[in-house]
Structure 1
Amino acid sequence: MTNHKELQADTSVAPTTLLKLGWDNHFDRQLATITTTYAHIARVISVQRGLFLVSDGNSEWLCSPAGRLLHSHKGDYPVTGDWVFIDDTVVTGVLPRKNILSRGEAGSRGGRTGATTREQAIASNLDAVFIVCGLDRDFNIRRLERYLTLVYNCGLSPVVVLTKADLHEDSESFRMEVETIAFGVPVVLTSMLDGRGRSELESHLGGGQTVAMVGSSGAGKSTLANMLYGNDIQSTNAVSSSVGKGRHTTTVRELIRMPQGGMLMDNPGIREIAFHEDGHGVESAFTEIQELAEKCRFADCTHQHEPGCAVLCAVETGELLPDRLESYHKMKREMQYLSDRRSKSADRVEKERWQYVALLKKSMYKKNK
C-alpha cells in the first residue's frame, strides 16, 4: 500500500501503481493542497451496498465509509472512480474530482416537477465516455442526442459506439446518420463476430486512461467489454425477441483493469436520460444550430417565430430537419427549467411554465384558424 509520506515526498511523481489506475498531474496538484492526515490513497473500483471496493494498484480490499461521510453533503459521498483517503478499512475522505458523470435521478423527468434536480452520480475522474447503441431496435437518433448532451453537460468527451454491426449489410449508413448529429465525435462500428472496431476503441484505453460506458439495457455494453478485454469478463443476456428490450446484465458499476493499460467501467442500462443541472451541453451537441443562430436578425432569437431567423429558414430549405430543431428546443426548455429552479421558487416556476403552455396553444390555434 502507498503511504502518506511516500506521496508527500515528491507530489510530482506518483507511485507507478497509482499511475496505472489513472493518477495524473491533476491529482498531484490536489494532493499538494491537502493538510488532512491519512494513511493511504486508493481508487474506488466499485460501490457495493454501502461498502467500497478500493485498490492501490497492488491489492484490493473492502472499506466502509467514515461516519462523517454518511452525514455529509451528498456530493461528497464516494462514487466509482473517486480517489479516496483510507485509514485501514475506512474511507475518511475524497480527493477533489477532475470531473463527474451524473444524471438526474430517474422518475421525475416529464412529470409536473419538470426536469429533476436530484443528482445520481455515475462515475468520476473519466477521460472519455462510450455511448453504446445497438443497431437493432435500440437505435434511436433522438436518444443519442440526449446522451451527447448529458456527456457534454458534464464536461466530458463522448465516443459513439454502434454495436451489432453484423446485423446489417450496410451498417456504414448508420455511422453516416449518427455523424450528422454528432459533429466531431468519433463514431465506431463494432461487431463481436469479427472484432470490428476494436483497434479504434483501444486507442482510448491506453495506460492510465479511464472510460465509462453508458447505454440502454441490451445495447451490448457487456459484450463490448468482453471483446475489448479478449475474454468473457462480463455476463451477457440476449435481447427479448418479443419487445426488443434488453435485460439488465450489469448491476454494479465497476472499474475493470484492461490489458491495454486503461480502465473500463460497465454500467447498468439507463432507461431515462434526465439532466441534473443546466450547462453548455445543448450548445455543444447542436453546434450547427448555434452556428446558424449567429446569422439571425435578433441576438435574442428563440428560433420559434421571429422574422429573419436563420434557423427557421434552414428548416424551410431542408438544411435542418424539423425533428432536430424540436429536440433542441425540448432540451433547452429542460435546461432553462433547471436554471429557474435554482433561482426561483417552485410555485413561480410552475406558474410561468403553464403560462408558456397557454401562449403556445394560443399561437397554434391562430395558425390553424
Structure 2
Amino acid sequence: MSTMKTLETAYAMDFVHSLSKLGWSPFFQTHLDNLYDGKLEPARVVGVRKNSFYVSQGKKEFLATVAGKLNHQIDCLYPVAGDWVIMTDNVIYSVLPRKNALSRGAAGRHGKEKAQPTREQVIAANLDTVFVVCGLDRDFNIRRIERCLTLIYNCGLNPAIILTKGDLQIFPEKFIRQVETVAFGVPVHLVSAKDSHGLNQLEAYLSPGKTLTMIGSSGAGKSTLVNRLYGKSVQPTGLVSENVGKGKHTTTSRDLIVMPQGGMVIDNPGIREIAFWDGDGGIELAFPEIERLSFECRFSDCSHMHEPGCRVNQALIEGEITKDRIESYHKMKREMMYLSDRRHKTSDRVEKERWKAVALKIKAAKKRRGNG
C-alpha cells in the first residue's frame, strides 16, 4: 500500500471515530453509502439559528447555510438540532434519513381550545431519551406530564421524568408517588441542582454517543440541569421570579451540547403548548391501565362514556381510576381522532382532485375528437 493511500485510510478512520463520538452509527453510514458519493461529507447539526446552522464533525465546528432546494422543496427534510447532514464548502445539501424525531403541532393557537395546529414542528432528531423536566414549584402539573408522555410515545421515543428543585419541598418524595400514578414504567428522578442531589442518577443517560433532549415549561430548570451535569456554566439561566414562584425563560435556541460524560444534550426553549401532530400509539402507552380495562368492556367499540357494561366506567365508580385521569384520556383521544380524520380527509381530497383532473382531460379529448 502506498504512503498516500495509508494516510488516506488513517484519515478516514480518524474521521469516522470523531463522528462516532457525536452518535454516528451504521444506520447513518448505510444511508450515506447508498445515497451519496465521496465528494460530500457528513456532519451533525449542533446549533440552529435564524438563517444558519452550527455543524460539527467531531474535531471541528463551523457555521453553515442550506442549499436553495431545502428552502423551496416541500418534500425535503429541513435541518433541526441532532440531524445528520451532507455538506461541502459550508453548505448543507441534504439531511440524512432520521432514526427518529421529536415533533409536535406548531405553536400559535394562542389559547384557542378548539384550534388545531396545521403544520408539524420538529423539535430535535436522532434521540435516545427525552427528559420531561418539571420543577417542584408552581410548575408541577400532573396533566401536563401526561401530555408530554403521550407526545413522546407518539414519536416512538423513550421518556424519563426529571423532577427538579427538590430542595424547595420538605417531603419531595410525595411528588414521585404522584407521578408514578400516571407514568407507568417510566423512570422518575428527583434532583436538586442547588445541592447536586440525584444528579448521579442521570449519568447513565449520558454514555458516549447517546443523545437526549429535554422538554418542559420555561423556568423548569432545564438549563440549570445541563450546567450542573456539565460541571460549569454552558447555558444561560435566570433567577426564580418572586412574583410567580417559577424560574424565568432564558433558552432561546436549540443547541446540542457534548457533555464531559461522552453523551450529548439538546436543550430546548420552554414549551407552552403541547399540541400533537401524530397519533401513533401514544394514548395506548400513556394510559395503559385504561387500555387494559377496555378489553373487558361489553362492546369492542366502547367509547367509555355512557355504554352499559363499560369496565372503564366501572373502574371510575369504584375508585380504580380518578375522574381527572379519565377526563384527560378522553380529551387526548378526541385530539387523536381529529388528527386521524384530518389526514383521511386530506388524502380523500387529493384523490378526488386527481380524478377530477383525469375527467377533465378525458372530456377535453372527446371534445377534440368531436371537432375533428
Indicate whether the TM-score tops 0.5: yes
Whose radius of gyration is greater, 1 or 2?
A: 2
Q: Deviations over 1:162-216 (max 9, x none)?
A: 0000111211110111011000100000001321221211101100000001100
Partner of 1:123: 124
Q: 1-side partners of 2:30 and 2:264: how far apart?
A: 22
Q: Secondary structure at 2:134's aligned position in 1? A: strand
Aligned length: 340
Partner of 1:95: 96
Summarize the alignment of residues 122-271 of structure 1 with structure 2, pairs less than 5 Å apart.
122-271=123-272
Q: 1-side partners of 2:260 and 2:74: how far apart?
A: 36
- The letter for the 2-side match of 1:126 is L
Q: Secondary structure at 1:42's aligned position in 2? A: strand
Identity %: 56
Partner of 2:3: none
Partner of 2:43: 42
Q: Deviations over 1:8-47 (max 9, x none)?
A: x89xx98111110011222122223214564211000011
Partner of 1:327: 328
Q: 2-side partners of 1:115 and 1:340: how far apart?
A: 12
Q: 1-side partners of 2:336 and 2:111: how far apart?
A: 13
TM-score where L is the length of structure 2: 0.87
Q: 2-side partners of 1:301 and 1:39: how far apart?
A: 54
- The letter for the 1-side match of 2:296 is K
Q: 2-side partners of 1:14 and 1:25: how far apart?
A: 14
Q: Which runs of 5+ in 2 are unaligned?
A: 1-7, 350-372
The 8 Å contact of residues 14 and 28 in structure 1, kept in 2 or not, is answered as no
Deviation of the 1:318 alpha carbon: 0.4
Structure 1 runs of 4+ aligned residues shifted over 3 Å read: 35-38, 109-114
Q: 2-side partners of 1:324 and 1:257: how far apart?
A: 38
Deviation of the 1:85 alpha carbon: 0.5
Q: 1:174 to 1:300 in 2, by over 3 A?
A: same
The 8 Å contact of residues 125 and 210 in structure 1, kept in 2 or not, is answered as yes
Deviation of the 1:120 alpha carbon: 1.0
RMSD over equivalenced CA pairs, Å:
2.1
Partner of 2:66: 65
Partner of 1:298: 299
Deviation of the 1:75 alpha carbon: 5.7
TM-score where L is the length of structure 1: 0.88
- The letter for the 2-side match of 1:79 is V
Q: 2-side partners of 1:6 and 1:331: how far apart?
A: 53
Q: Which runs of 5+ in 1 are unaligned?
A: 349-369
Q: 1:66 to 1:165 in 2, by over 3 A?
A: same
The 8 Å contact of residues 80 and 124 in structure 1, kept in 2 or not, is answered as yes
Q: 2-side partners of 1:14 and 1:130: how far apart?
A: 30
Q: 2-side partners of 1:14 and 1:108: how far apart?
A: 45
Q: 1:344 to 1:195 in 2, by over 3 A?
A: same
Q: 2-side partners of 1:200 and 1:237: how far apart?
A: 25
- The letter for the 2-side match of 1:183 is F
